[in-house]
Structure formats: structure tokens, C-alpha cells
């Protein structure tokens, strides 16, 4: 049984993606891009190109628990909150 991390307030000018995983995933970039394509709260992020998505990581705009994430960051099973700086819910 996995426990859900405490939900923190979304930082101003950030878009939050909640990832709920049944199994550990080896790469954040693959899971996050898939989730962005499915959501309807921010159409800019839904339609982001792979190049633009890669730049978000290079510019250190993607964070997990306030820490800068890398494309190869692994994800544990359970709930993870990912914040993307510079975007908000539309």
C-alpha cells in the first residue's frame, strides 16, 4: 500500500500535473508528456512540441516536490505532483 504525499499549494504561475502510478516508471519525460497530451486544462502544454518540452527541462522549469527534475528522473509508484513553471490552468 502506498501513501499519497501531502498535497501542497500550487506555486503561482505554475501548472500542476498529478501523476498516479501503479508501478515505478524509469523516466519522467515519457510519463509527463503522455499526461500533458491527455489533459484539457492548458492547451499550450497539451500541444507542446517535443523540442519545446525538452527545453522546459533544459531551462529547469519542471519540478517534483520543489526540486528540479531531469528527463531521466524515475518515478515511484503512488501519487507524484509535478509543477511546470511559467504555465497556469487555462
* Residue 5 pLDDT: 55
27-85 is classed CATH 3.30.70: no
Q: With beta carbons less than 8 A apart as the criterion, state whether 24 and 75 touch.
A: yes
> In the prediction, which pLDDT does 12 show?
83
Structure confidence at residue 3 (pLDDT): 53
Q: In whole angstroms, give the CA distance from residue 20 to residue 76.
A: 10
**Which residue spans within the chain are E strands per DSSP?**
14-21, 62-64, 67-68, 78-85
Cα-trace Rg, the chain: 12
Distance, C-alpha 75 to centroid of its chain: 11
Q: Max alpha carbon distance in the chain (Å)?
A: 37
Chunked into runs of 10 residues, the chain (90 residues) has average pLDDT values of 61 91 96 96 96 97 93 95 88
pLDDT score recorded for residue 4:
56
Amino acid at each position: 500500500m502506498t501513501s499519497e504525499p501531502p498535497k501542497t499549494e500550487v506555486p503561482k504561475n505554475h501548472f500542476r500535473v498529478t501523476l498516479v502510478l501503479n508501478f515505478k516508471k524509469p523516466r519522467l519525460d515519457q510519463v509527463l508528456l503522455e499526461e500533458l497530451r491527455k489533459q484539457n486544462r492548458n492547451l499550450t502544454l497539451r500541444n507542446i512540441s517535443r523540442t519545446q518540452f525538452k527545453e522546459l527541462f533544459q531551462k529547469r522549469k519542471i519540478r517534483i516536490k520543489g526540486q528540479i527534475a531531469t528527463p531521466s528522473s524515475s518515478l515511484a509508484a503512488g501519487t507524484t505532483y509535478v509543477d511546470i513553471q511559467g504555465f497556469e490552468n487555462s
